[in-house]
Structure 1
Amino acid sequence: MALSLGWHIVLASFGVAFPAMILVAHWRGVYRDDADALTLARRWAKVSAVLFAIGAVSGTVLSFEMGLLWPGLMGPFGDVLGLPFAFEGLSFFVEAIFLGIYLYGWGRLPPRLHLLMIVPMAVAGVVGTYCVISVNAWMNMPVGFRIEDGEVVDVDPWAVLFNPGAVLQFAHMWVAAYMVAGFLVAGVYAAGMLRGRRDRHHRLGFTVPFAFASVGAVVQPFVGHLLGLRIAEAQPAKLAAFELATETESPSPLRLGGLLIDGEVRYSLDIPGLGSIIARNSFTEPVVGLNTIPAADQPPVNITHIAFQTMVGIGTLLFAVAVIYWLARWRGRDLAANRWALRLAVAAGPLAVVALEAGWIATEVGRQPWVVYGVLRTPDAAGDNPDIWMLLVATAILYTVLTVGAVTVLRSMARRWRAGEEDLPSPYGPQAESPVPR
C-alpha cells in the first residue's frame, strides 16, 4: 500500500495543480494573443493526458488494494467510507470527460468556449482529491458512526465527508500539489535554459509554473502550522514523535535532528522554548511527552520524526528559494539567466517530491498503531493473505513498466516538439481541422 500510495500521490498532484497552470497559459494565449502561451497550453494538455492515463491505472490498483489488503477496515466501515469514494469516482469520470473534450477541441471549438472546458476538469480534480483526503482525515479523527455490540451503526456519511480534520488536511495537500507540479514543470524548462534554450517559450514555461509553486511554498508553512495545532489536540502521540518529546516540558524545546536510542534523545540540536511556540502557539504550553503515552499506543518514533523534519526542512528551503527569486526579480535581477539559480530550480522539483513523500510517511506512520485512530488497530484491519509478497512484486513490476513507459513517451514528445512537430497525433483522435474563427 505504501508503494502504491507513494507512486500515485505524485500523479495526483498533477491532477490537482496542472489544470490551473494550463488554464492560465490558455487564458493568456486567447485574451492576450500570446502564441507562446497557447503553445504551452497545448503541449501541457498532452502531457496531462499521459499522466492522467497512468494515474488511472495506479488509482485502480489502489481501489483493489483497499479491499485486498485491509478487509478489517473495508468490511465493517464500508458504509462509512462509501460516500467519499463514490464522489471521488464521479469526479474522476468528469475530469476524464472534459480532458478529452479539451484535447480534441483544439481547432474545433470557439477559443473562449474551448478555454472554459478546463474549468470543470480543474474543479473535478480538486473535488476528487478532497474526497480522498477526507477519508484519510476521518481515519485521523473518526466521526459519523457508533459501535454497538461490535457493529458499526448510525452512520452519517456527510459527517465523514466533512469531518473536523478534512479541510485543513486537504488544504495542506492541495498546496503541496501546486509545489510538486509547479517546481517539477518549472525544472524542466530550467534544464532547457541550462542547455542554451533561452527563448521566450522556455522563459514563459518556467515562469508560470514557478509562480504557482512559489505561492504554494510561501503559504504552506502557515497551513502546516494550523494543521499542527489540530494534531496537538487530536493525536498527541503523533506530535510527541514529530517533536521527539520524550517527556512533557514547559516550555518545550524545538529539537532539530536527533534520534531516540534506548529511550534517550541523541544527536539533536535543542532550541529552548521554540517547540511550544511552533507546535502549541504558546510560550508555555507543553508538547505532551511520550512517557505519558502507553508503549503499545506509540508510533515508530524515529521514522515519524525524521520524515516530519525532512518535510519541514525541505519546505523551509523551498520557501526561501521562492522568496529570494521573486525579491530579486522585483529588484530587476534576472535570476533566470544565472546558472546556479537554474540548477537550484531544477533541484526544487525532486526536493518537493521528497517533501511530499516525507509528509505522507509522517502522517501515516505517526498514526500507528491505529488505522482508524482510537478505534481500529492496524493488525486488526490488515489481511493475512500468505501470498502478499506476490502482489507486492507484481505491483512493483507494474509501476516500473508504467514509469519507464511514461518517461519514454514524454521524452519522445519533447524531442518532436523541439524538432518542430507541433501537432502530435493523439490516439484515436479525429483528423485535424481548420481552426474555428474567433
Structure 2
Amino acid sequence: MDDFIAARSQMAISLGFHIIYSCIGMVMPVFMAISHYKWIKTGEPVYKNITQAWSKGVAIFFATGAVSGTILSFELGLLWPKFMEHAGPIFGMPFSLEGVAFFIEAIALGFFLYGWNKFNKWFHWGTGVMVGISGIASGILVVSANSWMNSPSGFDYINGQYLNIDPIKAMFNGSWFSESLHMTIAAFSATGFAVAGIHALMIGKKQNVNFHTKAFKIAIVFGAVAAILQPFSGDLSAKNAAEKQPAKLAAMEAYFHTQDYSPLTIGGIPDTANKKVNYGIEIPGLLSFLVYDNFKQPVKALDTIPVKDQPPVTVTHIAFEIMIAIGSAMMLIGILYFVALWKKRSWFSKKWFLALFILYTPFGFIAVEAGWTVTEVGRQPWIIQGVMRTSEAVTPMPGIHYSFYLFTVVYLILSIAVIMLLKRQIKMVPELYDR
C-alpha cells in the first residue's frame, strides 16, 4: 500500500466510524428531550426512565464522538497539509463554530446528566434541548465545511493564489443547504430505525414491554418521517450535483454516453472498459426528468469529462445503488408504520411487524456509509472540486501505512468498547427502570 492510498484509507476509516457516532450524537438528544417533555407533562414515571436510560447512551456517544472527532482534526493537518495550508483560512469558520457548538453541548450535557432533582424541571429540560440543538448545529457546520470541498466558493483562485477570501460566502456555498438537509434527515432516519429496532427486539422478547413500547414509538415516528422525506432531499442533492459536479452524477448513474432522453439506470455493474452497464435496468428519459424536469434534455455524461478528471465509476455507482435501495425500503417501512398506526393497530403485536424493524436496525447506517462514499469517492480526483487534486494535498511524510494500521486498530477497539457499554446498558433496563 503506497502512502497516498494509505492516507485516503485512514481518512475513510476515520470518517466511516465518526459519521455513525455523529449521527447518533445529533439525534439521540432530541429523542431524550421528547421523552423528558412527556414525563414533565404526563407525570408517567416510564418517560423519566426512558429519558435517563437514553441519556446514558447520549453520554457514551458524546465521549466516543469527541475522541474520533479530535483524531479527525489532527488527521486533516497531518495527512493533508497542503490542503489545510490553502483551504484552512477559507473554510475555517464552520470548523471554529463547530468547536463552539461542541463546547455548548458538553456544558449542557453536564448540566442535564447531573441536574436531576437539583434544577427547576423546565430549566433541566432546557439543558437537554440545548444538547440536541448544539448537536444538530455541529453536524450541519461540519457538513458545510465538506460541502465547500464539493462546491468551493468565497475566494478567487489566481495564478495558484487564493485571494479575496470571504469566509461567510465559503460557509454558505452552493451545496451547503442541500447537503446539510440530506445529512440531517439521514441522521434522523438511520438513528430512528436503529433505536426503534433495538426496542422492537426487547418487545419481541417480552422484556419490560411498556418501557420499550413507548421508547419504540418515539424513535420510529422520527425515523419513519425522516425516511419518507429523504427522497425529496435526495432529489435536491442530485439536482445540485448535476449543476456543480456533473462527473459525480454521471458516476453515480454509471452514465457513459450523453444522449437525449437520458436514461436512469437501476442496479447493474459498470463495465468501464466497454463503457456500459451490465445487468442494469434502464428507464429512458427518467434521468433527464429528475435533473431538468423534462424527459428530453440531455444530462452530461462521462464522455464530456476528461478521463483524468473522472471519479471511480464502479465504487460510486454501487454505493449509490445501495443507498437508494435501503432508503427506498426504509421509506416503505415508514409508510407501513403509519398505516398500522392509522388502520391496523393489531399489527403492532405481530411478530412479522416487529421483525421488520429488528431487521432494519443497522441498515440506515449502512445507507449513511454508502452515501458518504458517494460524496467522497464521487468527488475524486479532487480534494477541492476543480481546484486542488487529492494527490497534490497529501503529506510527503513516508510510512503513512503504519499510521493507517494503527488507527484502524484504535477505531475497532473503540467500537468494541461502545458495543459492550451499550449492551450492558440495555441489559440494565429491566433491572433499573421496570417500575
Is the TM-score greater than 0.5?
yes
Distance 1:107 1:39 in 2: 14
Structure 1 residue identity aligned to 2:111: I
Q: Say whether 1:116 aligns with 2:130.
A: no
Distance 1:282 1:401 in 2: 51
- RMSD over equivalenced CA pairs, Å: 1.5
2:303 maps to which residue? Answer: 291
Is the contact made by 1:325 and 1:335 (CA closer than 8 Å) also made in structure 2? Answer: no
Q: Say whether 1:231 aligns with 2:241.
A: yes
Select the residue among 289, 295, 298 that pairs with 1:277. Answer: 289
Distance 2:326 2:31 in 1: 23
Distance 2:123 2:264 in 1: 53
Select the residue among 203, 210, 221 that pairs with 2:220. Answer: 210
Distance 1:52 1:104 in 2: 15
Q: Say whether 1:267 aligns with 2:313.
A: no
1:85 maps to which residue? Answer: 95
CA displacement at 1:114 relative to structure 2: 0.8
Distance 2:411 2:130 in 1: 29
Q: How does 1:294-373 map to 2 (within 5 A)?
A: 294-373=306-385
Is the contact made by 1:168 and 1:223 (CA closer than 8 Å) also made in structure 2? Answer: yes
Is the contact made by 1:307 and 1:358 (CA closer than 8 Å) also made in structure 2? Answer: yes
CA displacement at 1:81 relative to structure 2: 2.0
Q: How does 1:4-403 map to 2 (within 5 A)?
A: 4-197=14-207, 199-261=209-271, 262=273, 263-403=275-415
How many pairs align? Answer: 423
CA displacement at 1:234 relative to structure 2: 0.9
CA deviations on 1:351-397 (whole Å, 9 max, x unpaired) are 10110000010111111111100000110011233211111111111
Distance 1:194 1:249 in 2: 52
Distance 2:90 2:208 in 1: 53
CA deviations on 1:171-194 (whole Å, 9 max, x unpaired) are 000000101111111111111112
Is the contact made by 2:250 and 2:256 (CA closer than 8 Å) also made in structure 1? Answer: yes
Is the contact made by 2:105 and 2:135 (CA closer than 8 Å) also made in structure 1? Answer: yes
Distance 1:409 1:265 in 2: 45
Percent identity between matched residues is 38
Distance 1:252 1:421 in 2: 57
CA displacement at 1:421 relative to structure 2: 6.9
CA displacement at 1:422 relative to structure 2: 8.3
Is the contact made by 1:248 and 1:289 (CA closer than 8 Å) also made in structure 2? Answer: yes
1:433 maps to which residue? Answer: none
Distance 1:214 1:198 in 2: 23
CA displacement at 1:417 relative to structure 2: 2.7
- Greater relative contact order: 1 or 2 (C-alpha under 8 angstroms, separation 6 or more)? 2
Structure 2: runs of 5 or more not aligned: 1-10
CA displacement at 1:41 relative to structure 2: 0.8
1:316 aligned counterpart, secondary structure: helix
Distance 1:309 1:110 in 2: 50
Distance 1:375 1:25 in 2: 47
Distance 2:421 2:400 in 1: 31
Distance 1:287 1:37 in 2: 52
1:137 aligned counterpart, secondary structure: helix
Is the contact made by 2:49 and 2:433 (CA closer than 8 Å) also made in structure 1? Answer: no
CA displacement at 1:212 relative to structure 2: 0.5
1:143 aligned counterpart, secondary structure: coil
1:371 aligned counterpart, secondary structure: strand
Is the contact made by 1:245 and 1:287 (CA closer than 8 Å) also made in structure 2? Answer: no
Distance 1:196 1:386 in 2: 56
CA displacement at 1:254 relative to structure 2: 1.5
2:378 aligned counterpart, secondary structure: helix
CA deviations on 1:86-144 (whole Å, 9 max, x unpaired) are 11111111101100100001111121221111122112112211111111111111000
Distance 1:204 1:422 in 2: 13
Structure 1 residue identity aligned to 2:311: P
Structure 1: runs of 5 or more not aligned: 424-438
Is the contact made by 1:232 and 1:280 (CA closer than 8 Å) also made in structure 2? Answer: no
Distance 2:321 2:315 in 1: 10
CA displacement at 1:84 relative to structure 2: 1.1
Distance 2:255 2:428 in 1: 55
